[in-house]
Structure 1
Amino acid sequence: MVIETFKAGLKPVGERFARSGRMLPDNVSYIASWMESSGARCFQIMEAPNVKALTPWLDFWGDIVEFEVVPVQTSADFWAARKG
């Protein structure tokens, strides 16, 4: 999960997205996102082989977005890995 906090508000993020798109590396997939009701933060589910794969994307947006990357998995996968 990627938690984005917009450093300068929504406008710069919206403008860059309209101009350049999401700009994800080839090995990263966008799954879904949810916006905080105030518009200050976005919570995104991304699929990537590892956290390092997100680096080019984080770098592209890092001047206007602060990121917290939290590796997550489904509850089913979590519990299945702990059996046996």
Structure 2
Amino acid sequence: MKFMMTFHWVPDTEQRAEAIERFLRTGGVPPQGVQLLGRWTSADLGSGFDLLETDDAAKLTEFAYQWSDLMELEIMPVLEDAELAAVFGRVAKK
């Protein structure tokens, strides 16, 4: 299943410096069992999102825990258009 993890950094220069150092040290790579499909960060460095894929919610939580001390995170399951169309095909009133 695919998940969108959004992140928001508080405007704290010490936390930002720690987040940058941690990212450079680790590459921001999720644990084994979670695939990073893409990451985008806003030009002002205030927020961004990761597109992740996993069937293991515990591993997803592990990844969030690695960053939750430095930024606010939100994780939500997402569907691609083809998956959404299949749902509509099964349940939409005709």
Match of 1:6 among 4, 9, 16: 9
Please tell me the residue identity of whatever aligns with 1:56: E
Q: 1:67 aligned to 2:46?
A: no
Distance in structure 2 (CA, Å) of the matches to 1:52 and 1:83: 31
Cα RMSD (Å) of the superposition? Answer: 1.8
1:34 is aligned to 40
Q: Give 5+ residue unaligned stretches, structure 2.
A: none
- Alpha-carbon shift at residue 23 of structure 1 (Å): 4.2
**Corresponding residue pairs, total:** 84
Moved over 6 A (4+): none
User: 1:50/1:83 Cα in 2 relative to 1: closer, same or farther (>3 Å)?
Assistant: farther
Instruction: List aligned pairs for 1:13-28, cutoff 5 A.
Output: 13-28=19-34
Q: 3-state DSSP class of the match of 2:89? A: coil
User: 1:82/1:53 Cα in 2 relative to 1: closer, same or farther (>3 Å)?
Assistant: farther
Q: Give 5+ residue unaligned stretches, structure 1.
A: none
- Alpha-carbon shift at residue 37 of structure 1 (Å): 2.4
Q: TM-score, normalised by structure 2?
A: 0.75
Q: Percent identity?
A: 25
Deviations 1:12-67 (A, max 9, x none): 21100112232412110111122222110011111111544311111111110110
Q: Quick check: which has more Rg, 1 or 2?
A: 2
